[in-house]
Chains A and B, each alone.
Chain A
Amino acid sequence: MINFAIVGAGAIAPIYAEAITLHPEATLVAVCDKNQQTASGFVKQYSTNKFYTAYEDLLQDSSIDVVCICTPSGLHADMAIKAIEAGKHVIIEKPLAMTLEDADRVIAAAKKFKVKATVAFQKRYNRPILQMREKLEKGSFGNMMHATTAVRWYRDQSYYDQDPWRGTAAMDGGALMNQSIHNIDLLRWMMGPVRKVSGFTATRRHTMEMEDVGVAILEFESGALGIIEGSTAIYPTDLEASLSLFGTKGTAVVGGKYIDEIKSWHFLHEDNELHKEDSTFSTSQEGHYPIIEDMVKAIKNDKDPAISLQDGRNALEIILAIYESSKTGNAVNIK
C-alpha cells in the first residue's frame, strides 16, 4: 500500500482524494491546510485519520510516501522542494512552478534526493489523446506540418474573486498558465521541442492582473508551425478545448469541451474507422486516477513516472515565452 497525503485542501484536492480512494493500492493518510476548519472538514469527508495545519508537521509524518502539492501555483516549487528534502515522492499539480528558476530547483532537488516526482498532466490519458499519440508514434502522420491548440472556456468574475491569489502574476497566471497549460503540454508532447515563440496576451473581460486571452505562434525544431490560443472569456460557457495535428499523411483533431472527443481522423492508406465508445472516453470520468496509478507503479517498480518534471518545465517555458513576447513585442528563442 502506498500512502498519500494532500497539501492544500482547495478546489483541486477532492479530485486527488477521490482518485487516491479509488485506487486499490493507494491510501489517503493525511491532509494539510493552514485553515484548520478546511483541513478537518476535508478529512471527515474522505474518512482519513490525520490532518495538519503546519506543513512541516506533515512532512515529519513517516507514514507518508507521496505528497500531492495542491496549493496555489506560486507555492508549488517551494513546497515540493520541502517534501522532496523530507524524502517524500511528489505529485505536483500543474503548473510545476511559476518561473524556470523555480522549476530547475525542483528538478535538481528531486534528482539529489532520488524521489519520484511528476506533474499532473492528466489530459495525456484522455483516450482520444492516447490514440493520437499512438498514431504519432507509429508514424501515421508522416512529417508534421502544423498543429494548433485552443482553449475557449468561460470563467466568470466571481471565479477570479473567490481567492485573492487567482489571476495574479505571482501566484496563478492567467488563462494560459492556469487553464491552457494542459493543451500546451499536449502540443509540446506531440510536436517535440520548440525553437521560437511569439505571442500576445490581453485582459478583455475580467478585472484581474493577468490575461484572460492569449494567442501565440510557434516554430518547432522540426520546422513545423503551431498556434496556441487560450481564453477564459468565451461567453457564455465553456465552448471547446482542442488539439489539431496536421502531417503529410494524416490529420487528427481532438476537441469537445474538454479535449475528449475525436472530431477529425484521417490517415492516408489506413483504416480510419473508430469505435464511438473508444473515441469519446475521457479521464474526465476518472480525474487524476491515471496520475495516481502511474505514481504507485513508479514507486513499486522503481522506475521514473511517465510524466517527468522536465515535461512540466517544457510547458512552463512556452507559457513564459508567450508572456515575455507579449511584453517585448519580439519573438522569443527557446534554448
Chain B
Amino acid sequence: MTQSNTQYTQNKELRFALIGCGSISATHAEQIHAIPNARLVAVADIEEDRAKTLASKYNTDFYTDYQEMLQRDDIDIVNILTPSGMHADMGIHAAKAGKHIITEKPMDICMDKAKAMIKACRDAGVKLSVISQHRFDTATVQVKKEMDEGNFGSMILGECAVNWYRTQEYYDSGEWRGTWALDGGGALMNQSIHTIDLLQYLMGPVESVFARTATLAHERMEVEDVAVATVTFKNGALGTIVGTTSAFPGLSCRLEVFGTKGSAVIENDRLTHHFQKTQDSKGEWYSGGKVENLAKTGQTDSGTGASDPTAIFGGAHRIQIEDMMQAVTWDREPLVNGEEGLKPLEIILAIYESARTGKSVTLSE
C-alpha cells in the first residue's frame, strides 16, 4: 500500500491547509512536507503568533480566521487540529466550502455533531478521514489481515490498557484541556481513543459496556483521569478497557486479542506475541496443527506517547494522509472514514454514560 501510495503521490499534487496550530500541528505539517506531492499552502489559528510561527517554518500563508482561509480555491484538503469540541463545527464549514477533510481524533465529542459532519461531507461530495493512525501500524495491519482470513477463529477476549501519565502541567497547558466542553472527556476521549478504536476494529462491533470513571490524581480537571470498563462484543466475546493518565511514570500501551485459534499482543504498537494455527487440523492445536509465533521485529510504528505527548512520531500519520490523498484522487472512501471514526466515539460516550448511571449501556448501532 505504501509503495503504490508513493507512486501515486509522485503524480499529482494536492494542497493542504491546517486549522489549529497547537501541539499536533507539528506532526501534520512535517508529514505533509515529507510527502512529495503534498503541499502545505496555509495555516490558521486564532492566536496569530502560533499561526505565524508555523507558517514561517513551512513558508505558507497564515490566517487568524479559518473561515477566511476556507474561501481560497487552491486548497484541496483541510486538516482540523483544534480542540476536540470544535471539530465538527469547523468540519461542516470546510465541507460547505468544498474542501476534503482530515480531522484529528476524536472527530467530535458529541454523536449528533459528528453525524452532522458526516452528512455535510456527503452532501458536499467531499471525503472525510478521521485520524486513527495506529490502524496503519504494521502490527495492526498484520493482525487484521489474519483475522479477516479467519485465522484467529472465533473471538474470545480483547483487552485495551493505556496506562499513561500526564502531569498536572499538561492539563494546565491549555484552557480547554480536561474540560467536558472542549476536550470532551479525559484519559479515554483524548488518549485511549486510539487503542479503543483498534480494539473494536480487531474484535468487531461492541454490544454493551459497563464502566466506572474517576478523577484521582489530578486537580483542576473536570474529566476522568482513570476509567475502567467491561465490554461485550456482538460476536459474544468479552473485553476490558482501562485508560488512565495517572500511571506514573507512564507504562506501555497494550492491546490484546484472543480467539479460539489465535492470540496477539500489541505493545507500544509492536506485535510482541502472535500465535496462531498455521495449517489446518482437526482437533486441538497440539494434535497436529502447527502453532507459530509470527511476531516479527522491524515494524513500523507511530511512537509512544506514554509520558510525553510530543513523542508521538508521525510515520503512521503520513500513511493515513497518503491514504486520504489516494481516496481523493481515485474517488474512493478513505480507510478511516466518518462512519469508522464514529465507532470509538460511540464506545467512549457509552462508557461515560454507564459511569454516570451505574448501569450497563447498550450501543445503538
Contact with B along A323-335 (1 / 0, CB 8 A): 0000001110000
- Tell me whether A296 is interfacial, beta carbon within 8 Å: no
Chain B positions within 8 Å of A268 at CB level: 248
Docked-complex contact A145 and B244, CB < 8 angstroms: yes
User: Complex formed: what's the CA distance from A267 to B171 in Å?
Assistant: 22
Docked-complex contact A204 and B242, CB < 8 angstroms: no
Docked-complex contact A235 and B286, CB < 8 angstroms: no
Mark the stretch among A38-46, A128-136, A221-229 that contacts chain B. A221-229
Docked-complex contact A204 and B156, CB < 8 angstroms: yes
Chain A positions within 8 Å of B275 at CB level: 235-237
- Tell me whether A253 is interfacial, beta carbon within 8 Å: yes
Known: A156-B286, A231-B156, A236-B285. A215 touches B239 (CB 8 A): yes
Chain A positions within 8 Å of B163 at CB level: 244, 246, 251
User: Complex formed: what's the CA distance from A237 to B291 in Å?
Assistant: 10
Which residues in chain B, 121-175, are within 8 Å of chain A measured between CB atoms? 153-157, 159, 161, 163
Chain B positions within 8 Å of A143 at CB level: 216
- Tell me whether B288 is interfacial, beta carbon within 8 Å: no
Contact with A along B71-82 (1 / 0, CB 8 A): 000000000000
Mark the stretch among B42-50, B99-107, B257-265 that contacts chain A. B257-265
- Tell me whether B210 is interfacial, beta carbon within 8 Å: yes
Docked-complex contact B157 and A198, CB < 8 angstroms: no
Interface size on B, residues (CB 8 A): 54
Docked-complex contact B360 and A226, CB < 8 angstroms: no
Chain B positions within 8 Å of A87 at CB level: none
- Tell me whether A213 is interfacial, beta carbon within 8 Å: yes
Closest beta carbon of chain B to A193's beta carbon, Å: 16
User: Complex formed: what's the CA distance from A200 to B163 in Å?
Assistant: 23
Interface of A is mostly: strand
Closest beta carbon of chain A to B142's beta carbon, Å: 17
Docked-complex contact B248 and A251, CB < 8 angstroms: yes
Docked-complex contact B226 and A146, CB < 8 angstroms: yes
In the complex formed, the residue of A with least CB distance to B156 is A204
Known: A200-B230, A215-B157, A246-B247. A329 touches B214 (CB 8 A): no
User: Complex formed: what's the CA distance from A231 to B226 in Å?
Assistant: 24
Chain A positions within 8 Å of B227 at CB level: 225
User: Complex formed: what's the CA distance from A227 to B243 in Å?
Assistant: 11
Chain A positions within 8 Å of B246 at CB level: 145, 246, 248
Q: CB within 8 A of A249: which of B210, B248, B260, B359?
A: B248
Closest beta carbon of chain A to B163's beta carbon, Å: 7
Chain A positions within 8 Å of B155 at CB level: 204
User: Complex formed: what's the CA distance from A329 to B360 in Å?
Assistant: 7
Chain A positions within 8 Å of B214 at CB level: 145, 223-225
- A: contact size bracket: 35 or more
Q: CB within 8 A of B251: which of A235, A239, A251?
A: A251
Contact with B along A177-214 (1 / 0, CB 8 A): 00000000000000000001011111011000000111
Docked-complex contact A145 and B258, CB < 8 angstroms: no
User: Complex formed: what's the CA distance from A233 to B232 in Å?
Assistant: 16
Docked-complex contact A217 and B249, CB < 8 angstroms: no
User: Complex formed: what's the CA distance from A251 to B244 in Å?
Assistant: 12
- Tell me whether A67 is interfacial, beta carbon within 8 Å: no
User: Complex formed: what's the CA distance from A235 to B289 in Å?
Assistant: 12
Q: CB within 8 A of A205: which of B260, B276, B359, B360?
A: B260
Chain A positions within 8 Å of B212 at CB level: 196, 217, 219, 225
Chain B positions within 8 Å of A205 at CB level: 156, 260
Docked-complex contact A236 and B263, CB < 8 angstroms: yes
- Tell me whether A250 is interfacial, beta carbon within 8 Å: yes
User: Complex formed: what's the CA distance from A329 to B153 in Å?
Assistant: 27
- Tell me whether A150 is interfacial, beta carbon within 8 Å: yes
Q: CB within 8 A of A198: which of B154, B210, B217, B259?
A: B210
In the complex formed, the residue of A with least CB distance to B237 is A204
User: Complex formed: what's the CA distance from A157 to B231 in Å?
Assistant: 26
- Tell me whether A109 is interfacial, beta carbon within 8 Å: no
User: Complex formed: what's the CA distance from A223 to B225 in Å?
Assistant: 13
In the complex formed, the residue of A with least CB distance to B273 is A239
Chain B positions within 8 Å of A331 at CB level: 210, 358-359
Known: A204-B236, A236-B275, A331-B210. A248 touches B228 (CB 8 A): no
- Tell me whether A234 is interfacial, beta carbon within 8 Å: yes
Closest beta carbon of chain B to A135's beta carbon, Å: 13
Contact with B along A5-40 (1 / 0, CB 8 A): 000000000000000000000000000000000000
User: Complex formed: what's the CA distance from A98 to B149 in Å?
Assistant: 42
B residues apposed to A, CB below 8 Å: 153-157, 159, 161, 163, 210-214, 216-217, 225-232, 236-240, 242, 244, 246-249, 251, 256, 258-263, 265, 273, 275-277, 284-286, 291, 358-360
The contact sample of 9 A-B pairs, CB cut-off 8 A, is A148-B242, A215-B230, A235-B259, A235-B262, A244-B163, A246-B246, A246-B248, A248-B248, A330-B359
